[in-house]
Amino acid sequence: MKFASDNNGPVHPKIMEAIVRANEGHVPAYGNDALTAAAKDKVREVFEAPEASVFFLPTGTAANSLILGSLTKPWETIFCANFAHIHVDECHAPEAFTNGAKLTPVGKRIDKFNSEELESAISAFSPENMQQSAHGPVSVTQVTERGTLYTLEEIRAIAQVCRNARVPLHMDGARFANAAAALGCTAAEMSWKVGVDAVSFGATKNGAMAVEAAVIFDPVLAVEFRRRQQRAALVFSKSRYLAAQMEAYLTDGLWLELAGEANRLAALLEDGIEGIDGVKFAFKREANMMFVWMPRFVHRALMEAGAYYYIEAGELEGDDPHEPLLGRFVCDWSVEEAGIARFAEVAQAARP
């Protein structure tokens, strides 16, 4: 009953085997080896973007921050959702890597924004006003930090606003695979084909050990990236071990297979607790993560039974057993159906 995070899950055996296979002999360092070149080509193949610039990094924060650093001038503002990872979870790394650019939250919802809200936010900054930030990139998170999705049409509309404002569109794709599996689309259809200029393409949450790909579709926008990566101390000398993960991740559609399984398991979990008295879903589950209001006594019963997940709002300790607390539940490919069934059984049987 482990639903705290897809970061907590194991490395998929095929990816671990690829790392072991890469651990043979001496090869050129700093990404100059054949495996790194092959893995980059595989990323380009999956994205149907032969001219794209691809860089491997160990973390999503590094990928986001270096991409935004390459796209943003220090006096510009980056437009993002109220609860975007770059805004609330990365300890000002984007601001640091952009040399102080501002982040501007957009819209009324905490998880995502629409094209009209973005247009309004951008128009609030006048290019002629030297006392304000200038228009900078727009960043969308797919899957969002609340487990919801942008449809392809929503992304396309946001991209059009970006084109009108002459600013690039970045996608934080830590759970890119889960979104693609949920929407039934290709990597290209969810990125450059709908107007995205750069993607931080995540693998770590979906079966890898530690690898993300910064994918920038216009090489002109990536001209500074390698120097920024070096300056940030994020160039691995033994790059083959990052490349081995990504190469295995993309072979035979493993990335979509694992994401589809995680989404399926999350749907099973949703079905198991839906309809229980006092249980209310805070957001529509659209991929592998959900946020659920449940009475304190249900949370207590689950925790006592060994369930492990995060409570996002409220305290487990308290006098009122019926007070609703917000739990976050995330599935990865390795979650066991027996654990889901046990979780549902405990939740259904809980009493104050």
CB within 8 Å of 33: residues ≥ 6 apart = 27, 239, 240, 243
Token pair listed for 251: 């072979």
What is the tens place of the pLDDT at every residue in 128-146?
888 889 999 999 999 999 9
Structure tokens at 278: 């006092």
pLDDT tens digit string along 71-92?
Answer: 999 999 999 999 999 999 999 9
Predicted confidence (pLDDT) at residue 261 exceeds the cutoff of 90 = yes
pLDDT value for 129: 86
Q: Which residue has the tokens 């049987």?
A: 349
Lookup: tokens for 313 = 């709002």
pLDDT tens-digit map of 33-81: 999 999 999 999 999 999 999 999 999 999 999 999 999 999 999 999 9
Task: Classify residue 299 as exposed, middle or buried by CB count within 10 Å of its CB (0-12, 13-18, 19+).
Answer: buried
* Domain architecture of the chain: domains with CATH: 13-252 (3.40.640.10), 255-349 (3.90.1150.10)
Q: For the residues 246-254, what does the mean pLDDT come to?
A: 98
Question: What does the alpha-carbon distance between residue 321 and residue 304 come to, in Å, rounded to a whole number?
Answer: 15
Task: Assess whether the previous peptide bond of 161 is cis (omega < 30° from 0).
Answer: no
| Number of neighbouring beta carbons within 10 Å of residue 314 | 16
